[in-house]
Structure 1
Amino acid sequence: MSLKTQAENDDSPLSRDEIHDLLSNPRRRYALHILKRDDETADLSTLAEEVAAWENEKPVSEVTSNERHLVYTSIQQNHLPRLERAGVITEERGRVELTSEAEELDVYMDVVPGDSIPWAEYYLGLSAFSLALLAAVRVGVFPASVPGLAWGVVIAVLFTCSAAYHTYQNREMQLGRGEEPPDRRV
């Protein structure tokens, strides 16, 4: 699949497939994370050093020149041109800058650890629990001294707290949030 040229991007935003294609490679995700985190601009050498550090799971100070060079070459020859063709960045003389088109990439990474469940399943379970609770109230399982409205408030509070936490977590999983990219934090 070929990405749009800058002229085509001026007329329409990136498609969902193009966004997924751009974000499918960790080096591009890492580079975008650094740019979003560091005020939308960075030197190519800085990008290469940080990406090499993350890939080799070591501090930047311990990255060897060979590790840095391999990443630098790949980013310079493959990943930055691809991002530039998509209109997401501009690169001139080793200085890389995000464009307004990069806002299309403000998607969060739904990284679900092995001991967790996806949010969709969580909300489905919370909805089933709420319906079961309302059915139990309706048939009189709970004492009549507890007003019916109290159960509605309990359900509303559960959904409000869940939605607030979900919103917080989604923001934390966006590219550019935190020191490391989202897929490195889980």
Structure 2
Amino acid sequence: MSSDSTDLPRTGTNSIGSDDLDTLMELLADHRRRYALYYLRKQESEVEIDELASRIAEWDSDDRERILTELRHKHLPKMEEVGIIERDGDEVRREDTNDPIDRYLDIAGEVEKLP
């Protein structure tokens, strides 16, 4: 975990504080961020942001270009700020996949039932 106070706890931490919970719930409140995280956590390597936008567009039935713009300017920066993803140019990858957020993603995924 970096020294940035917005980072969520990492591997080996089974509990989170209320500030971390607020951050986590804010991240998961947007369905496109959840969709991005569902997809990224299944990938073993970096994913092109265009590919991520295409996948989300399939699930969301919305314009791919609009989703791409939102990813670049809104969702990915927010997820990067808290240390859940890492971007390198037009590639993005999930950080530590043994993260407390995965428990909540599992629950949301059961409800949303995306392929």
TM-score class normalised by the smaller sequence: 0.7 to 0.9
Q: Cα–Cα, structure 1 residues 33 and 12, in superposed 2: closer, same or farther, change >3 Å?
A: closer
Structure number with the higher helix fraction is 1
Partner letter of residue 96 of structure 1?
A: V
Distance in 1, matches of 2:7 and 2:82, equals 12
What is the CA deviation profile of residues 26-65 of structure 1, one whole-angstrom value per residue up to 9, with x for unaligned ones?
0100000000112253110111001111111xxxxxx8xx
The percent identity for this pair of structures is: 26
Q: Contact 2:83–2:95 at 8 Å: present in 1 too?
A: yes
| Aligned twin of 1:28 | 33
* Candidates 92, 95, 100, aligned match of 1:104: 100
Unaligned 5+ segments in structure 2 are 10-15
Distance in 1, matches of 2:50 and 2:82, equals 22
Between structure 1 and structure 2, the one with the greater Rg is 1
Matched residues, number: 104
Please give the TM-score of this superposition, normalised by the length of structure 2: 0.75
* Candidates 16, 19, 22, aligned match of 2:21: 16
> SS at the partner of 1:17?
helix
RMSD: 2.8
Distance in 2, matches of 1:12 and 1:80, equals 16
- 1:53-132 aligned within 5 A: 53-56=58-61, 67-100=63-96, 103-108=99-104
Q: Cα–Cα, structure 1 residues 12 and 185, in superposed 2: closer, same or farther, change >3 Å?
A: closer
Please give the TM-score of this superposition, normalised by the length of structure 1: 0.49
Q: Cα–Cα, structure 1 residues 10 and 94, in superposed 2: closer, same or farther, change >3 Å?
A: same
Higher relative contact order (CA 8 A, sep 6+): 2
| Aligned twin of 1:50 | 55
Q: Contact 2:6–2:82 at 8 Å: present in 1 too?
A: no
Q: Contact 2:8–2:83 at 8 Å: present in 1 too?
A: no
Distance in 1, matches of 2:27 and 2:70, equals 15
